[in-house]
Amino acid sequence: MIANAHNFERFKAKRPGMLDYAELGRLVFSKLNVFVGEMNKAQFQRAEEHRLICGEKLDDLASAPDFRRATVRWSEFLTSHHRWFTRMQQAFGSGPSSAWFGKLKALRRDSQLLTYLHQARHADEHGLDPIAEGQGASFVMGRGGAALRIESLTINNGQIAVSGSEGGLPIVPEFIPSHLKLNPVIQRGVVYQPPAAPVVRPPLVATVNVPLTALQAGAKCKAIMSDKAIEGAEHLDKAGL
């Protein structure tokens, strides 16, 4: 066994082809970088599998024949999204891409949508209250906030006709199809409200925040995941993987 650098130099002199310490260190570091890079690439590939599964679960949610199965598909979507984020962290959480992953982590912290999905998954996994529930189709009018005056309302073969005014303007009724409604979730005493999006309500052109349905929230999350997948692949390309 080589006990110290002096003995190593004597041992090396007898074997001219041997590497010195610096060369050996560079070789080991290079091999380690290749190994770590391949592991990061494998983790990213697993993340991509979960991202694609998320898309499949949303398709299944959209075509679910009843609310019970829609709720199951939503739960599966949240689980796959959580696994996607975990794999992205394992792929990019350390090394040259750690700063980029830090931005993704900050996005999940600052985005109402991603924060809610993260906490809803925890609530679904460990809590007792339902995180979503079926909401039947409904007919809404008078959401602009002004005085509503209805003169007549008729329903004929599913067709609704309304005459009247809202704030002096004609009433514009709105039909809301059945959907999976997201519930607030509580984690460690903190209430996380479902994400919402601004919607312009006629006839007064009033902008109100309307909670997203499970399908809408999932679609927005899917778009974010797709963007981050492209960015992640670019990071791997820069690393030569």
Helix (H, G, I), strand (E, B) or coil at 185: strand
pLDDT band at 240 (very low <50, low <70, confident <90, very high): low
Question: What backbone torsions phi and psi does residue 161 show, to the nearest 5 degrees?
Answer: -125, 130
pLDDT band at 2 (very low <50, low <70, confident <90, very high): very low
pLDDT band at 161 (very low <50, low <70, confident <90, very high): confident
Instruction: Quote the pTM value.
Output: 0.77
d(CA 7, CA 2): 6
> In this predicted structure, what is the pLDDT of residue 142?
62
Q: Prior bond to 203 cis, omega within 30?
A: yes
Tens of pLDDT along 225-234?
999 999 999 9
Q: Which residue has the higher pLDDT, 66 or 150?
A: 66
Helix (H, G, I), strand (E, B) or coil at 188: coil
pLDDT band at 209 (very low <50, low <70, confident <90, very high): confident
Q: Which of 110, 99, 104 is nearest to 81 (CA)?
A: 104
- When pLDDT is averaged across residues 62-82 and rounded to a whole number, the result is 97
Strands 196-201 and 185-187: unpaired
> In this predicted structure, what is the pLDDT of residue 40?
86
Here the tokens at position 194 are: 């479902």
pLDDT band at 23 (very low <50, low <70, confident <90, very high): low
pLDDT band at 108 (very low <50, low <70, confident <90, very high): very high
Query: How far lies 223's CA from each of 18, 56, 75, 114, 229, in Å?
Result: 54, 14, 19, 12, 10
Q: Which residue has the higher pLDDT, 39 or 92?
A: 92
pLDDT band at 190 (very low <50, low <70, confident <90, very high): very high
> In this predicted structure, what is the pLDDT of residue 36?
45
Q: Which residue has the higher pLDDT, 42 or 8?
A: 42
Side-chain half-sphere exposure of 205, counting CA atoms within 13 A: 0
Report helix, strand and coil shares of the chain as percent, to nearest 5. Answer: 55, 20, 25
> In this predicted structure, what is the pLDDT of residue 159?
74
Q: What's the mean per-residue pLDDT of the chain?
A: 83
Q: Is the pLDDT of residue 216 over 90?
A: yes
> In this predicted structure, what is the pLDDT of residue 52?
97
* Spans of all domains in the chain: 5-135+215-238, 138-212
Range scoring the smallest mean pLDDT among 94-108, 138-152, 204-218: 138-152
